[in-house]
Structure 1
Amino acid sequence: MRYSVPLCGLLASLALASDVHELKKDTFKSFVEEHDLVLAEFFAPWCGHCKALAPEYESAATTLKEKDIPLAKVDCTEEQDLCQQYGVEGYPTLKVFRGPDNITPYTGQRKADAIISYMTKQSLPAVSDITKDTIEEFKTADKVVLIAYFAADDKASNETFTAVANGLRDNYLFGATNDAALAKAEGVEQPGLVLYKSFDEGKDVFAEKFEKEAIESFAKVSSVPLVGEVGPETYSGYMAAGIPLAYIFAETPEEREELAKELKPLAQKHKGVINFATIDAKAFGQHAGNLNLEVGKFPAFAIQKTDKNQKFPYDQDKKITEKDIGKFVDDFVAGNVEPSIKSEPIPEKQEGPVTVVVAKNYDELVINNEKDVLLEFYAPWCGHCKALAPKYEELAQLYQSDELSKLVTVAKVDATANDVPDEIQGFPTIKLFPAGKKDSPIDYSGSRTIEDLAQFIKENGSHKVEAAPAEKPELRDEKEDEELPHQAPAASKVSDKADEATESVKSAASEATESAKGVTKDIHDEL
């Protein structure tokens, strides 16, 4: 019994042992030099997103340890110089290190499975050599795997496939074999390609000409489930897919499964044209409002054109059946369904220097004119938007002369009350629409000062307009100035970035939630 206390202590220490390496300034460089591949998280203990990531990161570290891929973390509240050295501006920041100088941002999702999948891909060559002894294991090495079959002397196909793999290695595993017997066993003629997946029918065979663009398109379409599920880990992928997304809202897993089965033939019919996905109406029901559906009235169906952010809600008084939804989708594809547009009333007159834009006058004021238009997308509940408002008014005032007002418009739109063409990821978002180049707006990412915003308009606008001089402010009392807090520029920048990250909204779903209630929501209601 005398060993019970030490034994308990040992067991406790083992329970608390972590597979994530905690690094400091004096150990970081040597650690990344000793390992071919390292994923490092730069975090702050107070950061909510860091806390949410922690168990996922730990789980991934335990699994990847077996593959000799270490995961590390750096506490930026203790190692400020180290974090500044690697350009950390928000938390958590994840970076992939191949030595101390070869650094790339981690672009995967913040879930254990996604981290494991991403880092496994990074550890392999762009294209793995496949043999009869490794092919079966490789087919199931990830959710989506592409294997090319071509002859050893087919240099053109080899180069084409390698180019595709180099461009998409973050997304999929790529393998290749010149074993003709393996191609024959798969029923593939050389050069051929098969995409293996852990869902739907299990594999898709490439049937087009072996060219880069065709292969990339094939991978993009075939890697998506016929009827997937929209959630925090898949939302951004659907938004970036470049084709419309059909949402199937339902409150229970059983109902979602039933509706997915009902509409799967439609998903097969329109494969590559429209993505279909269910969505948990209990967890993400507020997102229905963003699609101009009535929140709380489920099940429901809507299509979103992700490139233009147009919404096409299906009549919620009608039942969701293959026949009825099939006609709605066919009409949508044929261009016979008008988008639903949410808009505030057009102001009877513009009051103040900042032009108020709503959905109904968006094209007129932003697109169909020959002005450089600076547009702020804001939310009424957004603290940073409120802080920006007086400075934005002052900025707009600089362009109010008869001459300058013909060339520049400073405007704002409430993106929670109006449908806008862009998918806005956070507030405030500021974009410049230059005259003659309205289809290529420029995002503003600088500091929110009048001087910097005016310089941004001058440098990026088509008219290169110099703002009118600002009126000189009244002099402050010396004592009042002495009482103002003084902050180092570097600290101010990091603080601004941290605040912006806090205000960032992951998706239109959380935007709808926040605008409806005006308070911070649980992460489970975000997409």
Structure 2
Amino acid sequence: MKFSFISTVLAAASVALGSDVLSLTKDNFESFIKENPLTLAEFFAPWCGHCKALAPEYEQAATILSDQKKAVKLVKIDCTVQDELCSEQGIEGFPTLKVFRGAIDDVSPYTGQRKADDIVSFMTKMSMPAVTDLVTEKFESFKAAESVVVVGFFSDPASNQTFSEVANQLRDSFVFGASNDEKLAAAEGVTAPAVVIYKSYDDAKTIYTGDFVAANIASFVKLETTPFIGEVGPATYAGYMESGLPLAYLFVDSEDAKSELVEILLPIARSFRGKVNIATIDASRYGQHAENINLKQQWPAFAIHELSSNNKFVYNQETVITEDGLVAFFESYEAGALTPTIKSQEPPEIQEGPVVIVTAKTYDEIVLDEDKDVLIEFYATWCGHCKRLAPTYEELAQIFWDDEDLKKKVVVAKVDTPNNDVPEEVRGFPTIKLYPAGDKLNPIEYSGDRTLESLANFIRDNGKYHVDAYAKLKSVQDAIDVDSAAEEETTHDEL
């Protein structure tokens, strides 16, 4: 691996200078992970501003953990040098932090905050057993150690094993403890086997009453630890997105407005538990996000975002948010009587081609046309990768646009995703998908090289019509080259 010797020297130099963060390379990464039971790895780029901001916090956290004699290692990998390693680890942005447990394939994302104390706290939890054996004398202190703890009460090995399975699955998010003390269980109002969630918010204690099945218990823990009314921020946003439930946003720019509206929303949140997540969001810090769910930046504001369909239901911003209004809004939503607001650019009057412009208003008409294979690029005007792709994508579209027969079979299109609501979850730009004719429910996402040949072959291999556009283009170019050569030879003979 190129630069491996230099990287090793730099790693040694960093240790010599007293750094508690070790720089790893492709040559020593896997062996280091296997030799250490718990490692936090930062994949970074020297030019990355967020990486520069994290650096002193990461270094401080490593020093604290080292001083505490924790069996936790903090390492870093420079992806501008170790590009092959970073590619193998699927690194797409910087910094990316991953937690490894003694094996390359035993890995999970770091989900904590990027401050030294938060890193120390998170990794300390990770270093603890998935389940802490509880003795009666330490039970109360264990309950108070975190804002959420999950405790199992057992009298048989099978139930204990089921609980341990759940704990291992969710250990990155919650603290688990277990007791086989029947008197303690009775004092807590349960009979073994039982699972109890203790929280410092909402209902202080929630008892699981379902079948003792790992999947059911895990679902219970995830649901019941979500606050009735939480808060959207950097630490919680991903969790809300991954829940799959619709997310109701309350944008507020003052504590008084927040307190008043949260009190009104609380009974609604209780009745919609498990159906809709409800959370406040600080409009003074994250107000721009309102535009993503079709709200104007005026506060307070309220809307429900259905993550599965990308539909947005907006509470009328021309009226005051009231208790009666919110109750009616949720009742209409539950009854399916609300009409989603659609953000859409105006479609062009004429598709001048060759790349067909799609908007929210024309999405179904163009993309879901059952008679055509439709390749569509979900892009953003500010995206550098999209701008670099544009000439190649235009050339691809031209192949089909110029041929009247191919034009009836294949469409190459694009949609300005931030400015148009689309029924697809788009995680990055550009995202390219093929909607085959006759099978629009199963689009195929493109993951190959962004070259003309690869894109054309993707349409050929996955479309209904299997049009080999690149071969057609090459045959035309070869014919042109032959004609040019013949013309040149004729001209030469005349000379």
Larger RCO, structure (CA 8 Å, separation 6 or more):
1
Cα distance change, pair 29–165 in 1 and its aligned pair in 2 (3 A): closer
2:308 aligned partner: 307
Q: Which has the higher Rg, Structure 1 or Structure 2?
A: 2
Cα distance change, pair 30–450 in 1 and its aligned pair in 2 (3 A): closer
Given residue 130 of structure 1, which amino acid in structure 2 is its aligned partner? L
1:129 aligned partner: 133
CA distance in 2, matches of 1:458, 1:95: 38
1:508 aligned partner: none
Cα distance change, pair 166–463 in 1 and its aligned pair in 2 (3 A): farther
Q: Of the candidates 287, 306, 310, which is equivalent to residue 289 of structure 2?
A: 287
The reply to whether residue 374 of structure 1 matches residue 375 of structure 2 is yes
The reply to whether residue 104 of structure 1 matches residue 107 of structure 2 is yes
Cα distance change, pair 405–141 in 1 and its aligned pair in 2 (3 A): farther
Deviation at 1:23, TM superposition (A): 5.1
Q: Of the candidates 49, 71, 75, which is equivalent to residue 74 of structure 2?
A: 71
CA distance in 2, matches of 1:253, 1:58: 35
CA distance in 2, matches of 1:263, 1:192: 31
Whether the 8 Å CA contact 1:147–1:175 is kept in 2: the answer is yes
Please list, as runs of the form range in 1=range in 2, the aligned pairs for 1:12-411 lying within 5 A after superposition: 19-22=20-23, 32=33, 35-58=36-59, 60-62=61-63, 64-65=65-66, 66=68, 67-76=70-79, 90-99=93-102, 101=104, 104-112=107-115, 115-116=119-120, 118-153=122-157, 155=158, 157-295=159-297, 297-367=298-368, 369-400=370-401, 401-411=403-413
CA distance in 2, matches of 1:121, 1:440: 41
Whether the 8 Å CA contact 2:370–2:439 is kept in 1: the answer is no
Report Cα offsets for 1:413-439 as digits up to 9, x if no partner: 111221112343332222223345433
Deviation at 1:77, TM superposition (A): 5.0
The reply to whether residue 472 of structure 1 matches residue 474 of structure 2 is no
What SS class does the counterpart of residue 376 from structure 1 fall into?
A: strand
Cα distance change, pair 69–138 in 1 and its aligned pair in 2 (3 A): farther
Structure 1, unpaired ranges of 5+: 1-15, 476-527
Deviation at 1:215, TM superposition (A): 1.9
CA distance in 1, matches of 2:112, 2:443: 27
2:487 aligned partner: none
Whether the 8 Å CA contact 2:42–2:98 is kept in 1: the answer is yes
CA distance in 2, matches of 1:142, 1:257: 24
Cα distance change, pair 412–132 in 1 and its aligned pair in 2 (3 A): same
Over the residues paired in the alignment, what is the CA RMSD in angstroms?
3.1
CA distance in 2, matches of 1:143, 1:443: 41
CA distance in 2, matches of 1:444, 1:109: 32
Deviation at 1:330, TM superposition (A): 1.5
Cα distance change, pair 366–260 in 1 and its aligned pair in 2 (3 A): same
Cα distance change, pair 263–391 in 1 and its aligned pair in 2 (3 A): same
Deviation at 1:256, TM superposition (A): 2.3
Given residue 398 of structure 2, which amino acid in structure 1 is its aligned partner? Q
Whether the 8 Å CA contact 1:208–1:214 is kept in 2: the answer is yes
Whether the 8 Å CA contact 2:99–2:110 is kept in 1: the answer is no
What SS class does the counterpart of residue 285 from structure 1 fall into?
A: helix
Deviation at 1:371, TM superposition (A): 3.4
Whether the 8 Å CA contact 1:192–1:206 is kept in 2: the answer is yes
What SS class does the counterpart of residue 370 from structure 2 fall into?
A: coil
CA distance in 1, matches of 2:348, 2:270: 45
Given residue 472 of structure 1, which amino acid in structure 2 is its aligned partner? Q
CA distance in 2, matches of 1:171, 1:441: 33
Report Cα offsets for 1:431-477 as digits up to 9, x if no partner: 223345433433333322111222333344455443352253999xx
Given residue 477 of structure 2, which amino acid in structure 1 is its aligned partner? K
CA distance in 1, matches of 2:371, 2:148: 47
Given residue 187 of structure 1, which amino acid in structure 2 is its aligned partner? G
What SS class does the counterpart of residue 302 from structure 2 fall into?
A: strand
Report Cα offsets for 1:481-527 as digits up to 9, x if no partner: xxxxxxxxxxxxxxxxxxxxxxxxxxxxxxxxxxxxxxxxxxxxxxx
CA distance in 1, matches of 2:154, 2:51: 45
Cα distance change, pair 20–258 in 1 and its aligned pair in 2 (3 A): farther
Deviation at 1:85, TM superposition (A): 7.5
